[in-house]
Structure 1
């Protein structure tokens, strides 16, 4: 099938970092009609959700309209919630949009495709832990970040008035939890009066709880030690070997009987596939709810459907487990599909996807910067200081160039550089 102009129809489900990069780069192909589907109106780079939550966003790419990006780059944007994929008719079904009174404002739609890419991301699971849904915040969406920020501001105002520090407990020491902790420490300064005596007060207590024996499970020992030291400098408490049993309105409890009082609890314990994936179509999924794909990112049950990013379960040759759900993997898969989908549309053979682990980077602002750069497992080495900071900054710049193109991306980067706001206190990528 093809559209009236003879172009192959590519439909991308999900406008996260990987999905949007793919749509933006594919849209330049004259032989392709590219459509991007997302339920939100605007793009938010998910690795920045903690910055929205803490109120420390400082980039012109923080949030951009999909409609505007579609006009700039040449893809069509379809706003809506994906309810199903009709494999036989090769159509994506978008649920009806309801008005505030519950009546149908826009009817169910069907978007035809020749090739479909599922990039619907992942979510933080609660693992059935009591009280997580009711009392903890999970940073899956912009709405989650907005809700946390409102509650955080109220808690900080109360702390300033009473002199009793607000307490934030974060469950999970991966990227989201650790980044958020550091950004909250930076945000604390905004609630002080501008004199030296006032700035010596403590208005915020931050505790990170980790179920594993050490923080950031899976990180290299050298990098972990550097991170522990930086968190100590930021006065962020970390507690390991904690199996959280329940959360209520003002406390987090462990199975061993420990209790941490809190004004705000954040649940940042792991990532699984978006729940919609299990009912999307007749797909094979892994134990984390991600769609199983072959080495070309094609789903195991439908040759017309490809999957990428946090939605995909790809086990490289010789590996015993799938690739981790990281922004690094999603971006590499977007680049691969940018080259591969035009070949598939022409019926030409393609090469398998090859993942290259570029390592893990941590930019800690005034507390320093460290990272592990990967050139093969035996050649990883630790970097610090300005080199590590520059390496991290390059990750975001690459995303801006892919989404906006070289010219507009460069203008966006220049705008970020002359912004009066300062960079974040701590950034992690690779988790």
Structure 2
């Protein structure tokens, strides 16, 4: 279908140019905040953010929430508060579709836990639409995976995993106490996918089981009574990163007591077991799937919005969709060309952040009728956290080639990345107060969430 190239604004005499951003993740909320502070407060555009949740949580922290090392409630930012402070509007709801001809975003109804309607289905007109929907778990059609393996996409998923972990520990602890002579099977946790999320979760869980051992309710031996497996279909962990980082990560995981199974493809997931292509049956109290992502299903159903095989929206170097110049996409839901036309940028938080910074400037050009610039990604490197063992990774931009980092430098930079994200949203003072409050909580409360 030929691209639609209509005027940027169709109702300038009635209202300012309306920019609707769908998705409040790293890219979407960062873009809404920047545009609200500039175009929104100046009255040059109306900025609206849509998200199905009332709060924002930084997804790279999900492994810490799942392992119980942070309370997600203390790391969430309320969209309504952020909107009021930064000159944009917030609409809660889930995108159900779009009408490109009429430029309408369809928002589905929201319901409470009892199924009662909170907000009705509605339509929101836009002049420019920005899709920042993030991603969902790709189970690759593996039998039983969607039913029996938890994804790790949201705080709800992290809390579900954490609760299952505590329940499994309580059951095993009770069995050991009441039948001391009986052989007790270890609590088995299978993590499918050894990308950054899977590796960080495995390391965090090893810290968690050691912390749980301090309390009588969870008095299990952190080595004998737990088996944490990291299952990867390719030949090495962190396959998207360099061999040096991958090799070091595997040594650290083995040192933590994580069973690393590479070249191992999962063929089926059941309630109590994970099966591999070699016919091996791995006992499983909890299985979690971190092996791949895809765009949300709603993107496949959008008429005239082209997507790739992973349901990511195809965009050009201005981040406009290939079919409609009034629709942009960024972050995990966008298939953005890299230096090569055949290669897309990896779904990473730093990509979404840089695209948000770019679009904040590009939208100023669009509203004022100037030509749009083209997005250029600059890789700053990658760091992977290993809990109390610190972090490792690479930093780019300091030299011609990325440099490997570990030890205190990698750990400090790893922790500063989140603080930089908070500073982007709340300013330096807000970030400073947030940091101080988290430090005080860690001083006054247990290091692990027990309820």
Same fold (TM over 0.5): yes
Q: Find the counterpart in structure 1 of residue 235 from structure 2.
A: 213
**2:267 aligned with 1:267, yes or no?**
no
The correspondence of residues 78-117 of structure 1 with structure 2, limited to 5 A, is 78-98=91-111, 104-117=117-130
Native 8 Å contact 2:93 2:108 kept in 1: yes
**Residue 14 of structure 1: which of 23, 31, 46 is its match?**
23
Change (3 A) 1:373 1:102: closer
CA contact (8 A) 2:211 2:447 kept: no
Equivalent residue, structure 1, for 2:160: 147
**Other-structure match for 1:28:** 37
Distance 1:262 1:60 in 2: 29
Measure, in 2, the Cα distance between the counterparts of 1:243 and 1:423: 38
3-state DSSP class of the match of 1:338?
helix
Alpha-carbon distance, 1:244 to partner? 0.9
SS in 2 for 1:35: strand
Please point out which of 172, 175, 190 is paired with 2:196: 175
Alignment of 1:366-377 (within 5 A): 366-375=388-397
Give the corresponding residue for 1:124: 137
Instruction: Please identify, of 334-343 and 316-325, the stretch whose mean Cα deviation from structure 2 is larger.
Output: 316-325
Q: Is the 8 A contact 1:27 1:34 kept in 2?
A: yes
Aligned to 1:327: 349
- Is the alpha carbon distance of 1:59 and 1:126 closer, same or farther for their aligned partners in structure 2, counting shifts above 3 Å? closer
Q: Secondary structure at the match of 1:222?
A: helix
1:376 Cα deviation after fit: 8.7
Tell me if structure 1 keeps the 8 A contact 2:223–2:257.
no
- The partner residue of 1:340 within 357, 362, 379 is 362
Distance 1:59 1:130 in 2: 31
Instruction: From 324, 329, 334, give the equivalent of 1:302.
Output: 324
2:210 and 2:222 in contact (8 A); partners too: no
State the aligned residue count: 424
Q: More displaced, 121-130 or 374-383?
A: 374-383
Distance 1:70 1:238 in 2: 44
More divergent stretch after superposition (322-331 vs 158-167) = 158-167
Partner of 2:7: none
The match for 2:335 is 313
Structure 1, 409-418 or 220-229: larger mean CA deviation: 409-418
Decide which of 148, 170, 179 is 1:157's aligned counterpart: 170
How far, CA to CA, are the matches of 2:72 and 2:412 in structure 1? 16
* Distance in 1 between residues matched to 2:205 and 2:365, nearest whole Å: 46
**So what's the TM-score if we normalise by structure 1?**
0.92
Structure 2 matches for 1:38-77, cutoff 5 A?
Answer: 38-57=51-70, 62-77=75-90
Residues of 2 paired with 1:131 and 1:262: CA distance?
13
- For the pair 1:225 / 2:238, whether they are aligned, the reply is no
Unpaired segments ≥5 residues, structure 1: 426-431
Q: 1:350 to 1:406 in 2, by over 3 A?
A: farther
TM-score scaled by length of structure 2: 0.88
User: How far apart are the structure 2 equivalents of 1:200 and 1:63?
Assistant: 30
Counterpart CA distance in 2 for 1:176 and 1:208 is: 11
CA distance in 2, matches of 1:214, 1:376: 27
CA contact (8 A) 1:73 1:404 kept: no
User: What are the superposed Cα offsets for residues 290-316 of structure 1, whole Å, 9 maximum, x if unpaired?
Assistant: 000010100111111110001110112
Are residue 192 (structure 1) and residue 205 (structure 2) matched?
Answer: no
Contact 1:160-1:191 at 8 Å conserved across structures? no
Consecutive unaligned residues in structure 2, runs of 5 or more: 1-9, 177-183
Task: Mark the CA change 1:37 to 1:423 in structure 2 (over 3 Å): closer, same or farther.
Answer: farther
Distance 1:406 1:348, change over 3 A: farther
Alpha carbons of 1:8 and 1:423: their partners in 2 closer, same or farther (altered >3 Å)?
Answer: farther
- For residues 115 and 156 of structure 1, the distance between their equivalents in structure 2, rounded to whole angstroms, comes to 50
CA contact (8 A) 2:237 2:249 kept: no
**Segment of structure 1 superposing worse, 254-263 or 3-12:** 3-12
Residues 382 and 270 of structure 1: is their aligned pair in 2 closer, same or farther, counting only changes over 3 Å? same
The answer to whether 1:409 aligns with 2:409 is: no
Query: Partner of 1:428 in structure 2?
Result: none
